[in-house]
Structure formats: C-alpha cells, structure tokens
Chain A
Amino acid sequence: MAYDIQKIRSYFPILKRKVYTKPLVYLDNAASTQKPIQVLKAEERLHNDYYGNIHRAGHYMADKSTIDFEEVRGKVQQILNSPSREEVIFTKGTTESVNLVAYSFGERYIEEGDEIIVSEMEHHSNIVPWQLMAERKKAIIKVLPFNDNGELQLQKLDELITPRTKIIAVAHVSNVLGTVNPIREVIEKAHEKNVVVFIDGAQGIQHTSVDVQELDADFYAFSAHKAYGPNGVGVLYGKKSLLEEMPPYQGGGEMISEVTFEKTLFNELPYKFEAGTPNITGVIAFGASLDLLKEIGIENIAAWEKGLLDYATSGLKEIEGLTIYGESRNKSGVVAFNVEGIHFYDLGMLLDKMGIATRTGHHCADTVMQHYGIQGTLRISVGMYNTKEEIDLFIEALKKVIRFF
C-alpha cells in the first residue's frame, strides 16, 4: 500500500497554519510531535461522555473510564509485544520512567561500590537519575563511549562490565546523533554476565518497531508526546520478575491493597507503581495515537522517514562548511549539524522567521557536545507527516540564512 501522505497530513490540522506569514515547516519532532485529530477527539469524547476516576467507585462513568484506560495498557502491551499487561506501567513520561527504575531498582539491588554503565550519548534524563541513585548508594557510574561517527564502541563493553556491574542504561536512538543503537547486542552481552539493561526509547518507539521479548529487554521506556500522543504520559515496560522485587517508587492511592498505621500492603503489578490518580485523559487519548501508528504501520513510517532523512542529509552535505554530527550507518529521526563560522542560535532564529521550526542548543546531551568539543548544534527531526517539499523549503531557507552572514 502506498504511503498516503496527504491523508496523514489531513489528520494534523495544525500543519496548515502559518507562522510569521510563512507556511509552517515543523522539523522539531524529536522534541515533541504534533497531535492528530484522533487524539483530540478521544480527549473530547471522554470529557463529553463518560469521564470518571478510574479503578475506584462502582458507577457507570468510572467503570467506562477504567475499561478504556486499561484498554490502552493492552495497546501498549501490543506495540511492545510485552508478555503481559502487568509489565506495562504508566508514568508522566520517559524521564519519570528512568527515575522510577533508578530509584526502585537502586533500592533493591544496588550496594556500595556497585557499578552502573551509561553511554556517552545519553540524554540528561538517562544520566542524572542514575547519578542521583549512585550518590545515594555510593555506587559508581561508568561510561560506554561512542566513536566520532556516533556509534557505540560496543567492544569496550566487555571490559567495562565487571562483577560489580548491576545495570546498563542506553538509548535506543540518540536524540542528537540519530544513531539506532545495537540494543539487542548490548542486552546479549549484558545478560551473559547477569547485568540488567534499561533502554531509553524516547526516540525509538515512534520510528522503529520494538519487540521487548525478541530483544529480551529488562526495561524499555518512552513518552506518548513524542509518538503523536498527549503530553504527560509515559510508559515503563519492565520484566515482571524485576518489578515484583522492586519497592514502590511513590506512595499514595491505587498502589496499596491495605493500609494500617503499622504496615501497608502494596497492590499488585502494575498498580504498585502507579500511585495517585494517573493522567486518565492523557492515557485514554494516547490510545488513539497508538491506533494511528498501527493503522499506518511503524515499518511504513520508518521507510518514509528514512527517505526524508537521506534526502535532507544529502541536501545538507552540499552546503559548504557544514558539519553533520552522527554518521552512523543505522540512523533514524534526526540530523544535527553546524555551519562553520555561524552560531547555531543565529541560524535557528532566522530559520524560525522563515517558518522553519528547528531545535538549537545542546539538546540536553552535554556529553555529546563535549565529545565533539562544541557548545550546541542545530537539529532537524522528522515525523510521519513531513514531506520532501518541506525538506526543500528547509534547505532553501538554510542557504538563504547562511548568505545573511
């Protein structure tokens, strides 16, 4: 089936708007994607028809909301091919998912002197929670480096893993370099030595199919808002055997089965990790974006986006003095670059004036910037609804902006 780009774009009315009188070219999808009408309608339907607090009360509205909420858990289970729904936990976003694991896994498994490996290309969200835990537990953070092409130096993992290594945290796809990391190999190597692996899938799930069973992933986290869903919803997939042993992250409603002042009995999975009233609206609306991903097909989206990324990359390479950061063979979603002699802030600012939304700065990945000895980059990131015509507009605008200086 051909990729019906016009139909897909019609789902996102915002794409028709203009900024500063110029047609919007939205190339900041790695920061957040736009929301399709299906998601907006699901939110509206909930609030017009049947909103109620979930898992509580025995009335029609609460029951209907609960059913829909739990149905989305099933959809997430499906997209990840998780063996059971108990292993799918809803959070606020990827960041909270990392914090949850860093805290609860740390409490259960990390002793003084234990080691945690993070890769050099991680987003701050997949570094800082581990540092906080390491500080608390007097554990040690070790770094798995990447080469100048932006590829993880996997061979170094063998020497990095010691008997004290407890967990490895690595991104599925880098938010700056675009590298699709060989997470299956990382997991294989780790599991040979009984080390657990946490995958940050914030840039993964929307660009490539994920099968946690095939990967044998211990943890996989992602955010709804980068996958055409609403803000404030994230997912943590975790293996039941681990989640069951880990203590709760936060206390509150829903996560308990019985409370006395002497002792509290915790609820079973996944509710043990879902304290308080969750983002009911967000989760239910997220179901609509998961349906859309399924309807179009992640493979089809991936192929379309690869076409865009290759097209943009070759266009960029024709520009004199332009350096691309991250030239891994297996790349997805983003291109980060600088133009010699021009600050990325200036480029991004003027592109914005021409209707092109890009991202500038360090992209919350200081260690990647340090690797290349730079302060930041300009970054474009594509989504399912971008077109080659938009890439043309971007390249043309970029050339015009460069002539400005």
Chain B
Amino acid sequence: MTIEEVQKQIIEEFSIYDDWMDKYQYLIELGNELEELPPEDKNEQNIIKGCQSRVWLVAEFKDGKIFFKGESDAIIVRGLVALLLRVVSGRTPKEILGNELFFIDELGLKQHLSPTRSNGLLAMIKQIRLYAVAFNRISVQGG
C-alpha cells in the first residue's frame, strides 16, 4: 500500500465513529497498543520536548527504508504517534518526502497539530521529514 492508501484506510477506519468520545476512545486504544520504547531509546537525543507532552522518535535506515519507532507520555498523543508510524515507517525517504500527511486533518484531529498545543507532534512530523532528507542524501551518495 502507498502512503496515500494507508492514510485513506485510517480515515475509513475512523469513519465508523461519529461521536468524538468514540473517536478518542479508539485513539486511546491505539495508544495503549503501541509498543513501548526500550528505556535506552528514551534518551536526550531522541526526545522531542513539547511544553504539554513529550515525544520520542527513533529512526533506523535499513535496505533503503526508514524504520521509525516512537512513543509519548500522553496517551492521546501516543495514539496519534501510532497512526503516524503506521503511515511513515518502512518507507523509502523519497516516499516520505513525496507525500503530504493529510489524515490527521481529515480525522478532525488537527488541533493536536496546532503549534500552540506544543505536544511534540508537529515537531515529530518535522523530525520525520528531516530524517528522510538526511537518509535520502546517504542513499543517493551511497547508491
């Protein structure tokens, strides 16, 4: 599936919830299911500090693809991190750089990406792109 298709799939999954409470309940569920990062990965290098919540992001470049792992201390943010990882992890840098992330907006969860929310999510998306730019350079040079 392409990045676009996965995003559409997520939107489809959420479409059965018309009540905000159900939507958040599902996000919390996703957050709970997200695998915890090992403590050694929760270091200063991987942290993205928001003044509301903290996010950790780990990237590994293997066989031309970037594998992301992430976590947050706030459960709703964790749920959103889980969705983001589902969309971007295991993709080539070019795929990440060539696609817009539209699903959060479509799900009506855009407020979590507001710069004033400062929950680390917006910075996380920026960081994902920065990794893609950096690994793209490596793969071009290396390849």
Query: A residues within 8 Å of B by Cβ?
Result: 20, 342-346, 349-350, 353, 360-362, 375-376, 404-405
Contacts and interface: CB of A to CB of B under 8 A. Distances in A.
Contact of B52 (A20, A345, A350, A404): A345
A404 B28 CA distance: 9
B24 A345 contact: no
B74 A345 contact: yes
Contact of A404 (B24, B54, B73, B74): B24
A361 B53 CA distance: 8
Interface string B109-126: 000100000110000000
B54 to A, nearest CB: 7
Contacts of B21: 353, 404
A343 B74 contact: yes
18 contacts: A343-B53, A343-B75, A343-B77, A344-B52, A345-B53, A345-B74, A345-B77, A345-B119, A349-B112, A350-B76, A353-B21, A353-B24, A361-B51, A361-B118, A375-B54, A404-B21, A404-B25, A405-B28
A228 B63 CA distance: 60
Q: Which 5 A-B pairs have the closest CB atoms?
A: A343-B74, A345-B74, A345-B53, A345-B52, A346-B76
B75 A346 contact: yes
User: Of residues B20, B28, B53, B112, which shows the largest number of chain A Cβ atoms within 10 Å of its Cβ?
Assistant: B53
Contacts of B74: 343-346
Interface of B: 20-21, 24-25, 28, 51-54, 73-77, 112, 118-119
B28 A345 contact: no
A362 B76 contact: no
Please classify the interface of chain A as helix (H, G, I), strand (E, B), loop, or mixed, using the class held by over half of its residues.
Answer: mixed
A343 B73 contact: yes
User: Of residues A346, A361, A376, which shows the largest number of chain B Cβ atoms within 10 Å of its Cβ?
Assistant: A346
B49 to A, nearest CB: 9
B52 A405 contact: no
Contacts of A360: 52
Contacts of A376: 51-52
A375 B73 contact: yes
Given A353-B20, A361-B52, A362-B51, A345 B76 contact: yes
Contacts of B75: 342-343, 346, 405
A4 B77 CA distance: 43
Contacts of B51: 361-362, 376
A404 B23 CA distance: 12
User: Of residues B28, B51, B73, B77, which shows the largest number of chain A Cβ atoms within 10 Å of its Cβ?
Assistant: B51
Contacts of B73: 343, 375
